[in-house]
Structure 1
C-alpha cells in the first residue's frame, strides 16, 4: 500500500526528519477542535495517526517540554533585560530631575544677582543725576580770580 500521508507526518514517516512539537502544533491548528468530546476525539485520532506513522508521541511530548523550557528561559532573560532597561530609565529620570532642579536654582540665583546689579547701577545713576539746587556751589574755578569785573 502506498504512503498516502501528507504534510509533516508524511515527511517524518519518510525519514526526512523527526516529528516534533512544532509539527504537532501545526497539525492541531488544522483540526476542527471546538471543545468538549469532539476535542477529545480529534486528539485521539491525531495520536493514533501519529503512532501509525511511526511517530513516537512520547518524543513529541519531550520536545514540547523542551520547547516550554526554552520559552520560559527566554521570557526570563527578556524580563531581566526589561528590568535592567527600566533601571536605566529610572536613573536617567532621576538625573533629569536633578538637572532640572539645578536649572531652577541657577536661574533663581542669576535673576537675583541681575536684579541686585540693576538696582545698584540705578542707585548710582540716580545719585549722579540728582539736582542739587538747594545746595550752594562752593567750587571755585581757577579762572575766577583772573577775570576783572568791571
Structure 2
C-alpha cells in the first residue's frame, strides 16, 4: 500500500494506492503517517496541483471504484458532471434512471471513498448545499475553486 499527502489551505488530503489504482482519498487535518509514494500517486498529486490551479478539469488517474452495483452507477454518473457545474440529488437519480432514488443517491455519495476524483461535491440538495463527508466548508471550498457561486 502506498500513501502520500496533498496539502490544501483548508486541510490535507491523504491519498492511497495499490500501485495500479487510486484506492482512497481522505480529508485530514494531521499528517500522521510516513509517506510511501509510487508513480501513480505522483501523477495523482500532479493532477491535483493542476486541478486546484484551475488548469485541469478532467482527472485521468486510474481509480479503483468499489461498492454495490447501484453505488458504482452513481459514481460513474458523478464523473460525468462537468467541472464547475452542479446537479441535485434528484437530477442525479434521474440521470441514472432511478428517478425516485434520490435518497439512495445521497447515501451512495456519502460512501464515496475517492472524493474530488469522483466529484460528489458537485451534487447539491434541492434548496441547500447538502451534506459532505469532508464537511460543508470543504465542499464550499471545492465548489468555489471550480467557480460555482454558493
Instruction: Say yes or no: TM over 0.5.
Output: no
User: Under a length normalisation based on structure 2, what TM-score does the superposition of the two structures give?
Assistant: 0.23
Q: Where is the strand percentage greater, Structure 1 or Structure 2? A: 2
Q: TM-score, normalised by structure 1?
A: 0.23
Greater C-alpha radius of gyration: 1
Structure that is richer in helix per residue: 1
